[in-house]
A and B are shown apart, each in its own frame.
Chain A
C-alpha cells in the first residue's frame, strides 16, 4: 500500500509539471505534426507540391525544308505552358540565357531550360553535340529533376518516332515491300497516341502503368510510403522522449532529497526498497501513459499503423523496461537536480544520435552498428520490425535484449541509490 502511495504522490507531482507535460507529449507530437504537415498532403493523395518556377529560353527555329510543322523547341516550350501543368509549374519566357541565368540568381525562377537555336536541325541530323541546358538553383533538387524528366520524356517520344520509322523502313525492305507514303502519317499518329497514353498512365495513373511500385513489407496493413516514413519518424521521437520522460520522472528522488522530504520519509517505518519500488512504479506508469497517448495519437492523427498486436506489445514493453532501467541508472549518477539538464541533454541526445533516432527513416550502416550497443538502438530495431509488419516471433530477440538491458541497468542504479542513501 505504501508503494502505491509513494507512486501516486510522484504521479501527482509529475502531472503538475508543465515542463514534463510539454516534453512528454507536446514536443514529440509537435515535431511529428510539423513533419506530417509538411508531407501530409502527399499522404492524403492530394498533390500540394510547391510551385516550380521555370524559365524557358527557346531559340530553336524550324530548319528550311523540314517536314515538321513546328520546331522541337516549341514542343518543349509549350509543355511547360500547358494548362494541365499550370497548377504546379509557373513558366515564363526569357529572351536569352543571360537573362534566365540572372533570374535564377535572383531566385525569381528555380530552373531555366535553354533550347539552342539549331536544336531541331541538329537533332534531325543526328548531331549528338547539340544539348538542351537546364540551369538550376543549387539549393533545389526536386524541381530541376522534374523539369529534366519532362524534357527527356518528350525527347524519348521524338526518338520513339525515329525508331518506329527506322523499323518500318527496315522491315518493309526485308519483306521486299515498297513503303506506301500514304500509310506513314497514320503510322506515326497511332504511335504518338500510344506513347502519349502510355506516358499519361505512367505519370498520372499508377494503377494502369506498365511499372507498378510496391513497398517491400506490403501486407495490406503498413499504409503508403509516406505513412511508413511517418511511422519511422514518430518511432524515433517516441523513443527519444520516452527515455527523456523516464529520466525526468525518476529525478523526483533527487528533488525530494534536496527538499528534505526524502530524509523525512527515511525516518518513517518504510524500508528503502519500498520507497524505490514506489518511485519505480510512478516512472513506469508515466512512461506507459506517455507511450499510450503518443501511440494512439500516431494512429489516429497521423494514420500510422504500428504493426501486429503481438509485435506492437513486445516493442512497447521492451521500450518501457529499457527506458525505466536507463532512467534509474542515469539518475543514480547525478548528484543534484541542477546536473540533470546537463546529463539528460548530453547522454540521451548522444545515445539518441548514435542509435539513429533522429534519422530513423534513413538507413545508415554506422548507426545500425552502433545501435547494437544502446538500449535506444534496440528499441528502434523492435519498432522498425513491428512497423514493417513482422510477426511477434521476429521481435523476441529485441524484446529479450531490452528486458535484460532494463533489468541490469535498474539493478546497477538501485545498488548505487542504496549506497548513497545508506
Chain B
C-alpha cells in the first residue's frame, strides 16, 4: 500500500507540471505527424498527374543510330519523361527540381560503341533521393538492352560474314531493338508481401505511419524519462528521500514505489500514442490488442527501470535531461526507430538488433506490418522484460550505494 501511495505522489507531482504534457504527449504527436509526412511525401498518388520521373536528355553526339534508339526507348517509357537540356543547364535544372536527373550522351558515343569500345553514358542525379535511385534502376535496364542489341548486331553480322556492312548492321540493330522491346523479364517476376491474418479492409501495411508511429512512440517514451527521472533528484534535493529512508519503509519499497510511478507515466504516454495512432493515423495496433498491450507493458517496464537507474546516477535536473537525451539518441538510432536497420551497415544492424528498443519495434511491427497475432509478441515481450530486470537490478544496486 505504501508503494502505491509513493507512486501516486510521484504521479501527481509529474502531472501537475504542464511542461510534462509537452514532452509526454504534444511533442510525440507532432513528431509522428512530421515523420509520417516526411515518409509519405515521396508517394503522392494522383491519377491526373504525370507521375513519370523527369529526366534531362543531353545529346552531345548528334543523331547516331544507337543514341537515337535510346532516345526512342526512353521517350516511350511509362517511367520517365524526357526533357531536352544542354550540358550547361544540367546542374541548375536538377537543383530547381525541373528534372530529377540528366542522362548525358558523350561526344563520339555512337562511333565508339559501334566500334565495340567503352563509351559510358553519364547519369547525373542525387542517388540519395528516391527518384535518383529509381532513375538509375530504369536506365540500367534500358542501357543493358541497348548494349545487348549492339552486341547482337555485331555478332550476327560477323556470323553471316558482313561485319562491316553498314546496311546489314543497321538492319540487324533494328531487328534486335525490336525484339528487345517485346521482351519484358520484369513481368515474369511477382513480388508479394507476406502478411498474416489481416483482412484487406483493415490492413494498413502501406501506411507510412506504420514506421513513424511506433518509432516515435519508443523514442519519446525514453524521452519521457526527463519528467520521471527528475523526481528522484527533487527528492534528494529537498531531503524528502532522506526523510523517507528514516520511515519504516524499506529501500526496495521506495525503489518499487518510484518504479511503479515511472511505469505509470511511461505506460500512460504509450497508451495515449497507441490510441492516437489507431484513431487518427489508421495505424492498426488493434490487429492484436493483447499483443500490443504485452509489448507496451514490457517496454514501459524497461524504460521505467532505465529511468530509475538514471535517477540514481545523476546529480541534478540538467543531468537528467542530458542522460535521458543520450539514452534516447543511442537506443532510438541503434534500435531502428529513426530508420529501418535494414538500411544500416552490417555491424550497426547487428548491434542494433540486440537493443531493447529494436525488440520493441519488432514487437509492434509484427502486429502492424506483418499482420501477426498475439503469439508474435511473446518473444519481444520476454526480451524486454529481461532488459527491465537487468536495469532494475542495476538501479537497486546504485540506490543502495547512493549518498542521501
Contacts and interface: CB of A to CB of B under 8 A. Distances in A.
A344 to B, nearest CB: 11
Interface residues of B, number: 99
A369 interface: no
A214 B104 CA distance: 11
B187 A18 contact: no
Nearest to A226: B128
B126 A163 contact: no
Interface string B89-103: 011001101000100
B190 A137 contact: no
B188 A123 contact: yes
Contact of A163 (B152, B190, B370): B152
Question: Which residue of B192, B330, B349 has the most chain A CB atoms within 10 A of its CB atom?
Answer: B192
B152 A191 contact: yes
A187 B326 contact: no
A341 interface: yes
Nearest to B148: A160
Interface string A25-42: 011001100110111111
Interface string A122-133: 010000101111
A341 B205 contact: no
Contacts of A183: 159
B143 interface: yes
Given A18-B319, A141-B342, A133 B155 contact: no
Contacts of B47: none
Interface in B30-62: 30-31, 34, 37-38, 41-42
Contacts, number: 283
Question: Which residue of A131, A140, A167, A171 has the most chain B CB atoms within 10 A of its CB atom?
Answer: A167
B138 to A, nearest CB: 11
Interface string B196-229: 1000000001000000000000000000000000
B172 A171 contact: yes
Interface residues of A, number: 105
Contacts of B301: none
B268 interface: no
A148 B156 contact: no
A233 B186 CA distance: 35
B162 A132 contact: no
Interface in B147-181: 147-149, 151-153, 155-157, 159-160, 162, 168, 171-172, 175-176, 179-180
Given A34-B333, A172-B160, A366-B41, A210 B143 contact: yes
Nearest to A22: B322
Interface string A202-228: 100000111111111110000001101
Given A31-B329, A195-B148, A37 B155 contact: no
A163 B128 contact: no
A358 interface: yes
Per DSSP, chain B at the interface is: helix
Contacts of A168: 152, 155-156, 159-160
Interface stretch (A150-158, A268-276, A290-298, A398-406): A150-158
Nearest to B104: A214
Given A30-B329, A163-B179, A361 B128 contact: yes
Given A211-B140, A214-B124, A105 B190 contact: no
B282 interface: no
A194 interface: yes
A422 to B, nearest CB: 29
A48 B126 contact: no
A342 interface: yes
Contacts of A85: none
B38 A163 contact: no
A166 interface: yes
Interface in B1-50: 18-19, 22-23, 26-27, 30-31, 34, 37-38, 41-42
A49 interface: yes
B370 A139 contact: yes
Interface in B337-388: 338-350, 362, 365, 369-370, 372
Given A31-B333, A171-B168, A42 B345 contact: yes
A101 interface: yes
A144 interface: yes
Contacts of A225: 126-128
A385 to B, nearest CB: 9
Nearest to A144: B191
A250 B91 CA distance: 41
B136 interface: yes
B194 A30 contact: no
B169 to A, nearest CB: 10
Contacts of B185: 152, 155-156, 158-159
B120 interface: yes
B118 to A, nearest CB: 7
A105 B197 CA distance: 11
B321 interface: yes
B404 interface: no
B153 A34 contact: no
B326 A132 contact: no
Interface of B: 18-19, 22-23, 26-27, 30-31, 34, 37-38, 41-42, 90-91, 94-95, 97, 101, 118, 120-129, 136-137, 139-141, 143-145, 147-149, 151-153, 155-157, 159-160, 162, 168, 171-172, 175-176, 179-180, 183, 185-196, 205, 318-319, 321-322, 325-326, 329-330, 333-334, 338-350, 362, 365, 369-370, 372
The 3 closest A-B pairs by CB, nearest first: A19-B318, A155-B185, A38-B344
Given A133-B191, A140-B342, A211-B140, 16 more contacts: A18-B319, A18-B322, A41-B345, A42-B345, A48-B345, A49-B345, A130-B188, A131-B189, A134-B192, A156-B183, A171-B156, A171-B175, A198-B151, A216-B90, A216-B91, A346-B27
15 contacts: A34-B333, A39-B344, A41-B346, A48-B347, A128-B187, A136-B191, A138-B194, A143-B342, A156-B145, A191-B151, A191-B152, A210-B118, A211-B120, A216-B91, A229-B128
